Chain A
Amino acid sequence: MQAGETRGILSADGLAGLFFLTLGLFFLFHSFGYGMGSLRDIGPGFFPALAGGILAVLGAAVIARGFVAPVSAGTIAWRPLIGALAPVVLFAVSLKTLGLALAAFLLVGVSLALTRQAPLRQAFAASLVLAAFAVGTFGYALQIPLKLWPW
């Protein structure tokens, strides 16, 4: 997405509509495999097919509006996007092997480093404090069954 591209399918409505249309069609087509049943006894595919069909129509209408009255969707802020979500995934993946203390430390540290919200030394301190907080609260106080330490 470029800041200047506001028309048509790349406008806010165009992109939103495209998402709705795709999702609606996706659900509509998959619904047929689950069986429609009859009106007397509707099958598992009936409701999703109905909702998916309506969503697809709405999506097409939203796309049309993107062509008639386009509004820019703006640009993607990659740094915040990746900086917020990558550490979360990293946390989930590493929790079982590294334990809560290290995984929490990594989450905070990596998110602050990627988003550049704090200088390195402060980020290090914040990671230590929040990891200690997580272990103290969830591990010891609330006794949530999580692996705490790498060993």
Chain B
Amino acid sequence: MDFSAIQGLWGGLEVAIQPVNLLLCFVGVVLGTLVGVLPGVGPVVTISLLLPLTFGLDPVAALIMLAGIYYGAQYGGSTTAILLKLPGETSAVLTCLDGHEMAKQGRAASALGISAIGSFVAGIFGTLVVVMLAPVLVSVALKFGPADYFSLMFVGLIASVLVCQGGMLKAVAMIFVGLLLGIVGTDVYTGIARFSFGQPELRDGVNFVVVAMGLFGFGEIIANLEQGTVDGKLAQKVRNAFPTRQDLRQSWKPILRGTGIGAALGVLPGAGAAVGAFAAYAFEKKISRTPQRFGHGAIEGVVAPEAANNAAAQTNFIPLLTLGLPSGAVMALMAGAMMIHGIAPGPDVMTTRPELFWGLIASMLIGNVLLLFLNLNLIRVWVRVLQVPYALLFPLILLLCSIGIYSLNNSVFDVGLTALFGVLGYFFIKTGCEPAPLLMGFILGPMMEEYLRRALVLSHGDVTVFVTHPISATLLGVAVLIITTLVWRPAATVFRKASGAAPAQPTTSIPADTGA
């Protein structure tokens, strides 16, 4: 770590401990834990809901709060997983397996406590990785030209497909749907209102809050109502969340391993917190001398994925803060939040807005300390939250979403459009299409068009610029590599089945980190 990073972090801490920022950090992590605990409400909906309310705030304070919701949700998700065997968040799917077994054996307090501690260690470590890695990547990113940026976004979008469930082909198509929806509105160069069809409301484009709330918020609610939800009253009553000394002895190594895996995977575009958790669980099971204990209350199976998803939730910010590349649905929303406040996400943020860059990172350290306290000591409160019936919760979400969208532009049209996206979201759930790539494409669409234009203007219409510039060429090479493996894997499976050989290993399906 070079010295300037420490200096930057120190300056950031001074920003983060300002009373307003401290308060909003607290609000963010409390809300994050809350929506993490509640199944069916996630950070994507919550962040898009609160976004309109942050218009009047200082951008630093707004981003600190929104970030807190995301990593706070990773803490809360484990509570529901352990007590109800229901993932409060997608990334807590694996915590259900052994966590709920531990609870059934009367070790709920241990599981909850050790999850919180593991999450804390991972959250702090993940933030320190951001501190160390971000300045390095920023200096690399400053060398990027328009062609390089175009290729970078292309790779980012392609990579996001890797983690999608239910067909890569559909996930790629969803990216393009997002790209197209993203360019609805007035073209900045010519002033032509594209695809607005005479609707004055569409001239400014479709608001991404409308897209996010419709697809994630309303779509999920419809699906939840259809399936019926689990009764929160089944949750065990727990008084506290403190692990025993033996728990700590057994789990410190898995915590560190999970942290490392999560932090590394979190940096990659597309790999959200869920992927880190899956990898960490699989790794622990593999290296364990007693793999048969997994699924029957093995503490390693609880702490490793919990640590991994928290570490990943922090390092997820790296591509956004340094390259301006959102690596998932939540980061796409964060990018949108920055743009609303007039900040273009990218390498310039660190130099032009150091108080924002370092203030946000430093707030994560504070946020994680707050979360440790909230999750160890206030566990009774969160268990009570679980008892809120869905019949009260879903009208509340509908109401909050409606007010939020309406207050964006005082527009009835926007609310109707969100309802339309709700229908679309339900259609996507029914037909097995992941909405997260759509949101990423939506955010990146206008940027990609812009960089494509600029790159071609600079090269005087020479399309080879994308392969002759070394950075761009390397990035496109990575994209080709990813596409090859995407095509190769299903093809190889088909071939293996055809030749009658036994499948080498059952493929675990990894749910994409929709965060909904």
Q: Does B452 touch A at the CB level, under 8 Å?
A: yes
Is there an interface contact between B398 and A55, defined as CB atoms closer than 8 Å? no
Tell whether, in the assembled complex, residue B195 and residue A30 are in contact, meaning their CB atoms are under 8 Å apart.
yes
B394 near A19 with CB under 8 A, answer: no
In the bound complex, residues from chain A placing their C-beta under 8 Å from that of B403 are 100, 104, 134, 138, 144, 146
Instruction: Give the contacting residue for B456; candidates A15, A42, A104; CB below 8 A.
Output: A42
8 A Cβ contacts from A113-127 to B? 115, 117-118, 122, 126-127
Question: Chain A, 107-147, contact with B by CB distance < 8 Å: what is the 0/1 string?
Answer: 11001100101100010001100100110001000101010
Identify the closest chain B residue to A15 (Cβ): B431
State whether A12 touches B416 (Cβ < 8 A): no
Q: A71-B432, A83-B225 are in contact. Are A88 and B418 (CB under 8 A)?
A: yes
> Given the complex, which residues of A lie within 8 Å of B407, measured CB to CB?
138, 144, 146
B195 touches A48 (CB 8 A): yes
Nearest neighbor of A24 in chain B, beta-carbon distance? B176
Distance between A144 CB and nearest chain B CB, rounded to angstroms: 5
Chain A residues near B419: list those with CB within 8 A.
Answer: 85, 88-89
Residues B399 and A107 in contact, CB atoms below 8 Å apart: yes
Q: A80-B222, A81-B423 are in contact. Are A130 and B395 (CB under 8 A)?
A: yes
Interface residues on A, range: 35 or more
- Which residue on chain B has the smallest CB distance to residue A139? B403
B381 within 8 A of A: no
Question: Given B218, B398, B432, which contacts A12 in the complex, CB threshold below 8 Å?
Answer: B432
Q: What is the bound-complex CA distance between A93 and B426, given in angstroms?
A: 23
The answer, among B395, B428, B456, for a CB contact under 8 Å with A126, is B395
Complex contacts, A117 vs chain B, CB 8 Å: 225, 390-391, 394
A51 to B223, CA, bound (A): 30
- B183 touching A111, Cβ below 8 Å: no
- List, in ascending order, chain A residues with CB within 8 A of B169's CB: 58, 61-62, 65
Provide the residues of chain B in CB contact with A12, threshold 8 Å.
430-432
CA–CA, A59 to B433, complex, Å? 12
Given contacts A13-B431, A92-B406, contact A27 B398 (CB under 8 A): no
From known contacts A73-B430, A118-B391, infer whether A40 and B399 are also in contact, taking CB-CB under 8 Å: no
Complex contacts, B53 vs chain A, CB 8 Å: 142
Contacts of A38 in B (CB 8 A): 461
B480 on the interface (CB 8 Å rule)? Answer: no
**Of all chain B residues, which has the CB nearest A126?**
B392
Interface membership of B427, Cβ < 8 A:
yes
* Inter-chain contact A51/B176, CB cutoff 8 Å: yes
Residues on B with C-beta less than 8 A from A54 are 176
Q: Quick one: which of B375-434 are within 8 Å of A by CB? A: 390-392, 394-396, 398-399, 401-403, 406-407, 412, 415-416, 418-419, 422-423, 426-428, 430-433
The answer for the CA separation of A54 and B399 in the assembled complex, in Å, is: 38
Q: How far is the CB of A112 from chain B (nearest CB, A)?
A: 6
| C-alpha spacing A121/B114, complex, angstroms | 43
In contact, B406 and A108 (Cβ under 8 angstroms):
no
Known: A71-B432, A73-B430, A126-B391. A91 touches B457 (CB 8 A): no
Q: Which candidate, B6-14, B61-69, B185-193, is the interface stretch facing chain A?
A: B185-193
**Which bucket holds chain B's interface residue count?**
35 or more
Q: Is B226 an interface residue (CB 8 A)?
A: yes
Q: Which residue of A lies closest to B433 (CB)?
A: A16
Question: Which of B179, B190, B402, B427 makes the CB contact (< 8 A) with A43?
Answer: B190
Give every chain B residue within 8 A of A40 (Cβ-Cβ): 456-457, 460-461
Q: 0/1 per residue, A13-55, Cβ < 8 Å to B?
A: 1011101100110010010001100111111110110011011
- Asked whether B398 lies within 8 Å of A111 as measured between CB atoms, the reply is yes
With most chain B CB atoms within 10 A of its CB, the pick from A17, A19, A42, A85 is A85
Q: Does B173 lie within 8 Å of A58, measured CB to CB?
A: yes
Chain A 83-98, CB within 8 Å of chain B: the 1/0 string? Answer: 1110111011101100
Is residue B29 contacting chain A, with contact meaning CB distance below 8 A?
Answer: no
In the complex, which residues of chain A have a beta carbon less than 8 angstroms from the beta carbon of B398? 84, 87-88, 107-108, 111
User: Are B402 and A88 in contact, with the CB atoms below 8 A?
Assistant: yes
- In the complex, A13 Cα to B456 Cα: how many Å? 36
Q: Indicate if B248 sits at the interface (CB-CB under 8 A).
A: no
Taking the closest CB of chain B, its distance from the CB of A40, in whole angstroms, is 3
**A36 CA / B172 CA spacing, docked (Å):** 24
Q: How far is the CA of A15 from the CA of B426 in the complex (A)?
A: 13
The answer to the question of A74 belonging to the interface, with a C-beta cut-off of 8 Å to chain B, is: yes
List, in ascending order, chain A residues with CB within 8 A of B445's CB. Answer: 51
Give 10 pairs: A residue, B residue, CB < 8 Å, sorted on A. A12-B430, A44-B190, A51-B180, A55-B176, A85-B422, A91-B402, A91-B406, A92-B406, A95-B406, A108-B396
Which A residues fall within an 8 A CB radius of B? 12-13, 15-17, 19-20, 23-24, 27, 30, 34-35, 38-45, 47-48, 51-52, 54-55, 58-59, 61-62, 65, 71, 73-74, 76-77, 79-81, 83-85, 87-89, 91-93, 95-96, 100, 104, 107-108, 111-112, 115, 117-118, 122, 126-127, 130, 133-134, 138, 142, 144, 146
